[in-house]
Amino acid sequence: MGAKTGLLVYADGDVPALLLQVGAADWEQTSRMVRRLYAGCEIEGARGSVLGEGVYPPEGTTYAASWPGVEVICDRRVMIDFPSRLPEHLVAASAGRRLVLHAMHSVVDWLAFAVWEDGRLIRSLSLSPDDGIIENIGEPLSFELPYWAGDRPADIIPWPGEEEEPYALPFHPLELGEDALRSLCGFIQEGLPEPADVDADSIELHGFRISDPHAPDPAEKEAALRQATERMGTPRIYTLAPDGSLIERDGL
């Protein structure tokens, strides 16, 4: 699985039903929404995307669309370990509406999702095999029940030569993540689409470059990353032998 998401949806009702009805999102309406949610930030237009591909934008880029009754924000900044700690102004913007957060990262098998109704948190779940259950608030939603009941165990294939060990969670977070995305937003990232799914590749999103003037200087962050990389020393490269064992290679 290679799915990654950082998604917020504000809606006046059922998100999938509303997304099935949307057309082209108005630029001015979308821009007003973005400036309201990112007050105090520097914002400029950028190349857009579509919902099917834009749920994990490049860092510093936000994809968004606003229609009557439903609004979508795609931004890595909403990929937080504790969904209940979503910035207060983003939750306050959902007054009288439903708010859905969906975030997952396939590299670490991490999933987080949450649902608010009229600003009140109904459900929040965040988990990964490395950290276990990070947050678990509210009663499980209907699409979760087969997972918690043990009906959807993780099917993990071990590396050659390694003994199979039990997965650290009773199910695979990314599998639950796809069901959560379909149930809460009407589409999926991986797997076979169903006839009733939202055609996320047909929903166009506007693009914005957003920078927080109070955030750390990107140049400083890059320099710190470069120094950390230099301290790591020369990388060690391995290849698989015919018997499944690992052999260190000389050079790159």
Per-residue pLDDT 10s for the chain (252 aa) are 479 999 999 999 999 999 999 999 999 999 999 999 999 999 999 999 999 999 999 999 999 999 999 999 999 999 999 999 999 999 999 999 999 999 999 999 999 999 999 999 999 999 999 999 999 999 999 999 999 999 999 876 554 555 567 788 999 999 999 999 999 999 999 999 999 999 999 999 999 999 987 766 556 656 665 676 666 556 555 555 666 555 666 654
3-class state of residue 33 by DSSP: helix
- Tell how far CA 248 is from the center of its chain: 35
- The predicted structure's pLDDT at residue 51: 98
3-class state of residue 63 by DSSP: strand
- The predicted structure's pLDDT at residue 212: 83
Say which residues have a Cβ less than 8 Å from residue 81's Cβ, sequence separation at least 6: 112, 126, 131, 134, 135
- The encoded tokens of residue 196 equal 């009733």
- The predicted structure's pLDDT at residue 247: 65
Q: Torsion-angle region of residue 156: left (phi > 0), alpha (psi -120 to 50) or beta?
A: beta
Look up the domain containing 88 and give its range: 4-249
In 3D space, the residue among 98, 112, 89 whose CA is nearest the CA of residue 33 turns out to be 89
β-pair partners for 44:
209
In 3D space, the residue among 37, 158, 181 whose CA is nearest the CA of residue 190 turns out to be 181
Total domains present in the chain: 1
Q: What is the DSSP letter of 65?
A: E
- The predicted structure's pLDDT at residue 166: 79
* Other beta carbons less than 10 A from residue 89's beta carbon: 11
In 3D space, the residue among 1, 34, 7 whose CA is nearest the CA of residue 19 turns out to be 7
Say which residues have a Cβ less than 8 Å from residue 91's Cβ, sequence separation at least 6: 99, 116, 119
